[in-house]
Structure 1
Amino acid sequence: MSWPAGTQCVAKGDHRKPRSGELVYNKGDILTIVDISPRKGYYKARHNTSGEEGLINSSSVRERDALRVDPRLSLMPWFHGKISGPEAVGKLQPAEDGLFLVRESIRHPGDYVLCVSVSGGVIHYRFYSNNKGSIATILLKPKQKQGTKSAELELSKTGWLLDITKLTLGENIGEGEFGAVYEGDYMGQRVAVKTIKCDVTAQAFLQETTVMTKLQHKNLVRLLGVILHKGLQIVTELMSKGNLVNFLRTRGRSVVNSVQLLHFALDVCEGMEYLESKKLVHRDLAARNVLVSDDHVAKVSDFGLTKLDSKVSDKAKLPIKWTAPEALKKEKFSTKSDVWSYGVLLWEIFSYGRQPYPKIPLMEVKEKVEGGYRMEAPEDCPPGAYALMRVCWEQEPRKRPAFHKLREKLEQEIGKCTPGPGSEPQGEIRSGSGC
């Protein structure tokens, strides 16, 4: 057995009395392989929480498994997914007062229906999470979906279930569409905690988690694990500088120069190249979904929900200014539609966080873009960067470059912007003379 660097492992037991050079850890701790040790049967590893490094015995740990994207893996066994009314009636047989299930509406995707058996029939209540209207009977018995696996058991078995008693929540650092995001502390490590209260939404986010467990890259926000307590809490590394669009807006040209902007563009490109290699489509790439770390590295976030069926979408929720024409018109999402979005993100970066398509009403953007309109270069944007935007915005998806080609071009642009002799570091982040 040989594990490459970057492999995450789970400690099988406590190791509190180490020999010289060995790592201290407790049962269940997550360790990351750094290198093979000359000492037979040992690896050099880093403790994911303390950050300390040392030797570990390979027989004392097991590899941290990725979660399987399994439709049977469920937080709510009574949620039956997208099924029709007649199917729901069939599942609630034999009739029994108070027997119920929840399904997603086929006619109205995104809306949910409570189906309750009462007096030999079934009543269907279309509802929203905040709807507190009365129903015909008490919900006595959930109709469990056949073959459903316990999410808690699977998360625990694969090493991704964290202990809520070791988590301390701090201040609210953001409000998302589905819940709040808090700064927190988990066993001494600063973390971000995304809380998902609504049961059905939590089920969808469980799919995000299963995708995140399979991915590890320096330019993707790293998942630490999840907690199941009054819903779902997704625990990730803390990105202390917030999202990229706000980072740029609050600093501007006096702090961040063009070579630093190119580094941010390269960070995002490398993260997207990795997703491309895994055949994953992001579908919502934008500066608001890129976070900046303490050491000013940009990392792509919210990439887990990308694995949703690319043929099914809610057009009303699509971010029009960032979405490729073929995705808006025919709902065709692909790596090439992500490349289009990346071009818009580049425009956001080099305009220091301006809203794309300035002065054009939102309702006119789609028609103008389909007619061939493209945004002009932001003020003082390097010509090479604007050329990349334009090639990302090719009308035909096949003419747009792959992310690995974009990375090569960006590396060339950064090479042109190396600091001159005797130049002083500028701004608060990566230095450079500018282009």
Structure 2
Amino acid sequence: MALNGWDPGTQCIAKCDHKTSKKDELSFHKGDILTIIKVVNNKGWYTAKNNKTKEEGLISRSNLREREAIRVDPNLSLMPWFHGKISGEDAVRVLQPTEDGLFLVRESIRHPGDYVLCVSSKEEISHYRVIYKDNKLTIDEENYFYNLIELIEHYMKDACGLITRLTKPKLKEGTKSAAEELSKAGWLLSMQQLTLGEQIGEGEFGAVFQAEYMGQKVAVKNIKCDVMAQSFLEETSVMTKLQHKNLVKLLGVVVDNGLYIVTEFMGKGNLVNYLRTRGRSVVALKQLIQFGLDICEGMEYLESKKLVHRDLAARNILIADDSIAKVSDFGLAKGVSSARDQAKLPVKWTAPEALKHHSLTDLSDKVEKGYRMECPDKCPTSVYNMMKSCWEYDPGKRPTFKKLKDKLEKGMKQREFE
């Protein structure tokens, strides 16, 4: 926090609509995300940018609230109404006193793999078996759902044959509603304001779409699997703490039929496709070095926060319209790496010591014996030497990202790459 209030780069949320005809003031709507540029005076005035309109101007602190970082909390749940493996008798006890629309979900003891939706009315408690069939969930074999979140949201809108419409979740003791905590901190976005466009990618854990949020072009990663959505929730909490020009910016989260992670849109796509579709005749060496420098700056920042990416590769580097490279999935790789199949482990980008306990390919055996990739065509010797230093078998001999950044900056200043 700056001495006079918010630091430059702080993201705030507009508490109200503000229209102005004053030349220097910034107009905005309630819910708009604004980024502080600089402190104007000690009376609570700032210069800021509206993330949606890209306009800059003066704003008053009284019209804004700061977005708070979400504390990583194992009790934070997308499904706080899920009570795990409890009996029907226990469910009845938990749902006391009875009231219309009070509900919980439990694992079925009688039918392993299925669930039970327990719904209370003023008169009784009804138990509805949720059948897992053809990778989907159903109660009546007419309405099918990808996950429990989608099922619950459906019956919160309409009873559709249940004893009553679901209105009030009975939280499992000790859990917190992720939606409520995200809303309090200012990170929960409205599904009604999100318009999904074409699919632009297929990640390991969900599809990626181009979209619009309140008129702003964004990218959206949709995770429908309950278990993976919960894993990503924890790592999304990490993303709320991080702000850097070379990290893809998190704009917020939508909880609706799963989890939607909304980030800034990177118009030139990932680095792999960027390079493959252009070739060396189009992308100059100086630009390639600048990409490397951008990546080092983003990763140095993560190092300073004691965070490990675990999946740094060209496919996870995105290029903005102004050709700035930014690291993506930096908050996601750590928590979900254990869920990957060994076959999906990124062998080419994994350190030798991380491969020791995996039965992989002949390539890992060659690396163990000292094999390293030859110098790419037209790659400067100084850059190849840096590459080799990153491939040192002893982790202690590998350079930090700060050291790599310093070397690249020095080379740029001395015009080594022109």
Q: TM range, normalised to the smaller chain?
A: 0.7 to 0.9
Residues 12, 61 of structure 1: 8 Å contact kept? yes
| TM-score for both structures, normalised by structure 2 | 0.78
Give the aligned partner of residue 26 of structure 2. 23
Shift, 1:24, TM fit:
1.3
C-alpha distance in structure 1 between counterparts of 2:7 and 2:267, whole Å: 29
Counterpart AA for 1:62 = R
C-alpha distance in structure 1 between counterparts of 2:413 and 2:289, whole Å: 10
Instruction: Specify whether residues 387 and 186 from structure 1 end up closer, same or farther in structure 2 by C-alpha distance, changes over 3 A only.
Output: same
Shift, 1:282, TM fit:
0.4
1:373 aligns with 2:368: no
Shift, 1:288, TM fit:
0.6
- The number of equivalent residue pairs is 365
C-alpha distance in structure 2 between counterparts of 1:275 and 1:212, whole Å: 11
Residues 295, 325 of structure 2: 8 Å contact kept? yes
Instruction: Specify whether residues 39 and 24 from structure 1 end up closer, same or farther in structure 2 by C-alpha distance, changes over 3 A only.
Output: farther
Shift, 1:38, TM fit:
3.9
Give the aligned partner of residue 157 of structure 1. 184
Q: 1:417 aligns with which of 392, 400, 415?
A: 415
Q: 2:49 aligns with which of 11, 33, 46?
A: 46
Among the aligned pairs, what percent are the same residue?
60
Give the aligned partner of residue 216 of structure 1. 243
Residues 12, 64 of structure 2: 8 Å contact kept? yes
Give the aligned partner of residue 75 of structure 1. 78
1:62 aligns with 2:65: yes
Instruction: Specify whether residues 194 and 310 from structure 1 end up closer, same or farther in structure 2 by C-alpha distance, changes over 3 A only.
Output: closer
Counterpart AA for 2:275 = L
Give the aligned partner of residue 207 of structure 2. 180
Q: 2:316 aligns with which of 262, 286, 289?
A: 289
Give the aligned partner of residue 355 of structure 1. none
| Other structure's SS at 1:240 match | coil
C-alpha distance in structure 1 between counterparts of 2:192 and 2:397, whole Å: 52
Counterpart AA for 2:30 = K
1:273 aligns with 2:327: no
C-alpha distance in structure 2 between counterparts of 1:156 and 1:300, whole Å: 26
C-alpha distance in structure 1 between counterparts of 2:133 and 2:408, whole Å: 46
Counterpart AA for 1:211 = V
Residues 20, 26 of structure 2: 8 Å contact kept? no
| TM-score for both structures, normalised by structure 1 | 0.75
**Which range moves more in the overlay, 43-52 or 322-331?**
322-331
Shift, 1:41, TM fit:
2.4
1:325 aligns with 2:330: no
Instruction: Specify whether residues 190 and 133 from structure 1 end up closer, same or farther in structure 2 by C-alpha distance, changes over 3 A only.
Output: closer
> How far does the alpha carbon of each residue in 1:170-197 deviate from its partner, in whole angstroms, 9 at most, with x for none?
2111112222211112222111111112
Gaps of 5+ in 1: 81-87, 104-111, 118-124, 332-361, 419-433
> How far does the alpha carbon of each residue in 1:146-181 deviate from its partner, in whole angstroms, 9 at most, with x for none?
211111111111111112222222211111222221
Give the aligned partner of residue 399 of structure 2. 401
Gaps of 5+ in 2: 93-102, 118-129, 140-147, 149-161
| Other structure's SS at 1:281 match | coil
Shift, 1:13, TM fit:
2.3
C-alpha distance in structure 2 between counterparts of 1:100 and 1:159, whole Å: 28
Give the aligned partner of residue 226 of structure 2. 199
C-alpha distance in structure 2 between counterparts of 1:74 and 1:49, whole Å: 30
Give the aligned partner of residue 380 of structure 2. 382
Counterpart AA for 1:130 = N
| Other structure's SS at 2:332 match | helix
Residues 92, 100 of structure 1: 8 Å contact kept? no
Instruction: Specify whether residues 79 and 272 from structure 1 end up closer, same or farther in structure 2 by C-alpha distance, changes over 3 A only.
Output: farther
C-alpha distance in structure 2 between counterparts of 1:399 and 1:102, whole Å: 50
| Other structure's SS at 1:389 match | helix
**Which range moves more in the overlay, 401-410 or 315-324?**
315-324
Q: 2:276 aligns with which of 249, 256, 262?
A: 249
1:264 aligns with 2:291: yes
**Which range moves more in the overlay, 49-58 or 37-46?**
37-46
**Which range moves more in the overlay, 68-77 or 162-171?**
162-171
Residues 69, 211 of structure 1: 8 Å contact kept? yes
Q: 2:11 aligns with which of 8, 11, 25?
A: 8
C-alpha distance in structure 1 between counterparts of 2:353 and 2:58, whole Å: 52
C-alpha distance in structure 1 between counterparts of 2:138 and 2:365, whole Å: 42
Give the aligned partner of residue 135 of structure 2. 130
C-alpha distance in structure 1 between counterparts of 2:36 and 2:48, whole Å: 4
Shift, 1:61, TM fit:
1.6
C-alpha distance in structure 2 between counterparts of 1:252 and 1:372, whole Å: 30
Q: CA RMSD in A?
A: 3.3
Residues 250, 262 of structure 2: 8 Å contact kept? yes
| Other structure's SS at 1:381 match | coil
Shift, 1:246, TM fit:
1.0
Counterpart AA for 1:60 = N
Residues 82, 104 of structure 2: 8 Å contact kept? no
Instruction: Specify whether residues 99 and 168 from structure 1 end up closer, same or farther in structure 2 by C-alpha distance, changes over 3 A only.
Output: closer
**Which range moves more in the overlay, 3-12 or 313-322?**
313-322
Counterpart AA for 2:192 = T
Give the aligned partner of residue 352 of structure 1. none
Instruction: Specify whether residues 99 and 237 from structure 1 end up closer, same or farther in structure 2 by C-alpha distance, changes over 3 A only.
Output: closer
C-alpha distance in structure 2 between counterparts of 1:201 and 1:171, whole Å: 23
> How far does the alpha carbon of each residue in 1:386-411 deviate from its partner, in whole angstroms, 9 at most, with x for none?
11111111111111111100100111
Instruction: Specify whether residues 211 and 113 from structure 1 end up closer, same or farther in structure 2 by C-alpha distance, changes over 3 A only.
Output: farther
| Other structure's SS at 1:304 match | coil
> How far does the alpha carbon of each residue in 1:8-48 deviate from its partner, in whole angstroms, 9 at most, with x for none?
11222222246442211222222111111147321111111
Residues 232, 335 of structure 2: 8 Å contact kept? no
Counterpart AA for 1:50 = T
Instruction: Specify whether residues 114 and 376 from structure 1 end up closer, same or farther in structure 2 by C-alpha distance, changes over 3 A only.
Output: farther
C-alpha distance in structure 2 between counterparts of 1:113 and 1:71, whole Å: 24
| Other structure's SS at 2:6 match | coil
Counterpart AA for 2:135 = N
Counterpart AA for 1:175 = E
Residues 13, 65 of structure 2: 8 Å contact kept? yes
> How far does the alpha carbon of each residue in 1:188-218 deviate from its partner, in whole angstroms, 9 at most, with x for none?
2111111112222211121232111111111
